[in-house]
Structure 1
Amino acid sequence: MTIFAVFLRGVNVGGVKVLMKDLAGLLAEGGFTEVRTLLASGNVVLESELSEAQSVQRQCNQLLEAHYGRSIPTLVYTREEILQLAQPFVLELPEPAAEHHGYLTLCESAQDAATLYELARALEPRPAVEVLGRALCWIARKGQSTTDPLSKLTAAQARQRVITTRNHNTLVKMAAIIR
């Protein structure tokens, strides 16, 4: 069995609310084992007989669409990817550090992460960003994670590609479950 992390792009999709207990049951009925959810925002750790993240992603997407009657995109990351993303944050938080959060915009491909990086570097003022595997790392002041220019950029890009953003602390918690 192989361990994966599954991230729903959203838990409120077109008027459909995906509850974590329902999601866990659906994935377990769909053949996944050791299904565990974290928080109420579409974060799942599971085990699968499948060995490739893309295969797990296709199966999760099919299960969700069949159950909810609409496309609910997921992103699937390997155990190794999650452990890498959960390492100490690659960007230094500005002072006062307690007033900032590190974020990771998780992408379907490394190319998507590279594209987001280039778009972010074109913003003025230029934000601190870094690519880590299939994720774009960035920083926002607490309370501004949805109004920050980089957040607005990723929201606009989410209409064109499968991406989702998580707080770095969420990845650290998921890594603790995976270990």
Structure 2
Amino acid sequence: MGSYAVFLRGINVGGINIKMAALRDALKGSGFPDAATLLASGNVVLSSSLDAAAVKQECEKCLRSAFGYEAWVVVLDARRVAQLVAACPYPDDDGSTHSYITLSSDTAVLDELEAAGAALDSHEQQRLGPEALAWLAPVGGTLESPFSKISAKAKFKASTTTRNLRTLIKVRDAAAALPASGATGK
């Protein structure tokens, strides 16, 4: 039995509104009885005997069926979330900047986004692995930051999802608390 973090892309920000209780209930009804949501931005922790690829497939199928949209998620093993948090070179709480990690299951898209970010003047970013890119934005100016504007382009937005480092720390802690052994379900 493994513990996983599931990150939904594009919910509760521009058209697709899902209540976290409904999301939790749908996933529980699809064979993930210990599914728990964190915050309202589409963060789920759950345990499963399936591998990460199968958890992704099952979650997307569940979301499409329950909420009627073309769902896309990133699924990471709980240990990988902890590794990404530890590898992030930026602070989790700073008065002048916010630290973000952009996640993707499509390495080629993240490669292209990384290159686009690297071409910006005075933009701080660091690749954390094939699925993650850490970056900084000024407090109060995240959406206006040049990198945020690049990452919002359709070719990147369709297959990436971004969380601030504080959120990933909460997800890491919640995933670590899951009963990875002895849980039932998929």
The one-letter amino acid of 2:73's match is T
CA contact (8 A) 1:87 1:172 kept: no
Q: Distance in 2 between matches of 1:58 and 1:159?
A: 21
Contact 2:12 2:41 in 1 (8 A): no
Structure 2 stretches lacking a partner, 5+ long: 177-186
State which of 136, 139, 142 in structure 1 corresponds to 2:139.
Answer: 142
* 1:20 counterpart = 2:20: yes
In structure 2, give the amino acid aligned to 1:112: V
Q: What displacement does 1:113 show?
A: 2.5
**8 Å CA contact 2:109, 2:156 repeated in 1:** no
- The answer for the alignment partner of 2:83 in structure 1 is 84
Residue 119 of structure 1 corresponds to which residue in structure 2? 116
Q: Which moved more, 1:21-30 or 1:83-92?
A: 83-92
CA distance change for structure 1 residues 40 and 14 in 2, over 3 Å: closer, same or farther? Answer: closer
Note closer, same or farther for the CA distance 1:12–1:178 as it changes in structure 2 (3 Å cut).
Answer: closer
How far residue 116 of structure 1 moved from its aligned partner, in angstroms, is 1.5
Q: Secondary structure at the match of 1:31?
A: coil
1:132 and 1:78 map into 2 onto residues whose CA distance is: 15
**Could you tell me which residue of structure 1 aligns to residue 63 of structure 2?**
64
- For structure 1, the 5+ residue unaligned runs are none
Relative to 1, partners in 2 of residues 1:66 and 1:142: Cα closer, same or farther, differing over 3 Å? Answer: same
2:153 equivalent in structure 1: 156
Q: Which residue of 2 aligns with 1:10?
A: 10
Question: In structure 1, what is the Cα distance between the partners aligned to 2:18 and 2:155?
Answer: 19
SS at match of 1:76: strand
CA RMSD of superposed structures (Å) = 2.0
What's 2:184 paired with?
A: none
Task: Tell me the SS of whatever aligns to 1:55.
Answer: helix
The count of aligned residue pairs is 174
Q: TM-score, normalised by structure 2?
A: 0.85
Greater relative CO (CA pairs within 8 A, separation 6+): 2
Distance (Å, rounded) in 2 between the aligned partners of 1:72 and 1:14: 14
Contact 1:4-1:76 at 8 Å conserved across structures: yes
Alignment correspondent of 1:131: 127
Which amino acid in 2 is paired with 1:132? L
What is the alpha-carbon distance in structure 2 between the residues aligned to residue 57 and residue 80 of structure 1? 16
Query: Which one has a larger percent strand, Structure 1 or Structure 2?
Result: 1
User: Is 25-34 or 8-17 further displaced after alignment?
Assistant: 8-17
- CA spacing shift, 1:80–1:112, aligned 2, 3 Å: farther
CA contact (8 A) 2:12 2:40 kept: no
Q: Secondary structure at the match of 2:35?
A: strand
Q: Distance in 1 between matches of 2:169 and 2:80?
A: 12
2: distance between equivalents of 1:55 and 1:7?
15
Q: Secondary structure at the match of 1:22?
A: helix
Give SS of 1:130's match: strand
Q: Percent identity?
A: 35
TM-score by length of 1: 0.88
The Cα shift of 1:90 comes to: 1.5
Shift of 1:156: 0.6
